[in-house]
Amino acid sequence: MERINDSTEPEAPHDELFALKAELARLRAQLAANPSTETISFDDQKILQDIGIYRYHHPLENAAGYRAELERIEIEVAKVVREQEAIEVSSTFTFENSLAAGRKLSNDLGKLMLRAYNAECDNCIRSLRTGNAEVAKKRIEASRQAIAKLGKIMEMQISARYHDLRVREIELTADWLMKKQEEKEAERENRARLREEKRVEREFAEERERLAKEKQHLENAIEALREKGERNPDLEANLLALEEAIKQNEYRLANIRSGYVYVISNRGAFGTNVVKIGLTRRLEPNDRISELGGASVPFRFDVHALFFSEDAVSLENELHNHFRDRALNAVNARKEFFFATPAEVRDVLMDKVGSLLEFSEVGEALEFHQSRKYWPERPEELK
């Protein structure tokens, strides 16, 4: 449409208003005729599946860094608005054959359009969730295009500088939400790790006390026999074994990398051919496995392998790295479930440690099998 300025032939006021209404009707008809070119998908689940693993738009070290950058963006946005550079409007549009009236109408309509655009931006930011930043950016881009079409006769549009700032604000907000979520998850896991370490230390301290008492009892018994001129080889052998147990207990307490690497499965919770590969420093590793099979899962875990290693941390990492591309959770690397059979893990484990004294390839899944017949429907993947 030809831009109206002060050099054009004067039009009656109702003719200009009619032209604006006609342009609006034409755009609405075009939108109705071509919905595929304007429609934006708001299915967050589809967006999350399409993008896969979250990629940061602007990688920063922590959530505080994103918060500081967002504050800087907010200041810049306010500055652009104050300098009247957020929306561009023609300075030659006339209304009722008056350039001044045309400028006033353009400025008033520009403020209204800018307010609508900002409202859309703010709504997108308020409703933003991790993974749907692309939807939000499409929404404000659609808003910008709609303003440009509706204001075409006045050469009205949201400036590229202002639009880029609002897009960056959305990207930074999405990154900030993701970083906050990651930091909360890391903090939660760190608290759980500290609780587990304290529990391990308490177990070793209790074991130290128990062994010390038992050693004292044996020494007293041996000394009493010695005073009588007698000996008991069994008691002396028990004392030697006890002293070795004390050394092992002190070694494991001091060596935080030692522990048990376990391979477990839970067919009723995760289906077949899914295993968890983890590490525990507990004196009794089965205690930790029993805790994992608590109220958070419907059935107890089956143990396929328990292997003690002086460097269990490295062994666990090697196993995780080997099956990394088969992890159930492709986003959070700290999760320890993998699409693998116990036999596959056994083969890799034997390559690294040489031999296994005990390994169970098939889990009992006793509670699962006993419960299946009572299910109203049996999921095919769990049969």
Q: Per-residue pLDDT tens for 324-348?
A: 999 998 877 778 999 999 999 999 9
Same domain, 86 and 108: yes
Residue 285 within a domain: yes
**pTM of the predicted model as reported, rounded to 2 decimal places:** 0.57
Same domain, 29 and 164: yes
pLDDT at residue 230, as a whole number: 85
Q: Worst-scoring range by mean pLDDT, 51-55, 209-213, 319-323?
A: 51-55
CA dist 97 and 7 (Å) reads: 10
Residue 312 pLDDT more than 50?
yes
Overall number of domains in the chain: 3
Residue 52 pLDDT more than 70?
no
Residue 189 within a domain: no
Same domain, 35 and 159: yes
What is the domain extent for residue 60?
13-182
Residue 350 within a domain: yes
Residue 116 within a domain: yes
Same domain, 242 and 95: no
Residue 191 within a domain: no
Residue 33 within a domain: yes
Same domain, 26 and 104: yes
Same domain, 237 and 268: no
pLDDT at residue 262, as a whole number: 93
Residue 152 within a domain: yes
Residue 12 pLDDT more than 80?
no
Same domain, 288 and 338: yes
pLDDT in tens, 138-173: 999 999 999 888 888 788 889 999 999 999 999 999
**13 falls in which pLDDT band (50, 70, 90)?**
very low
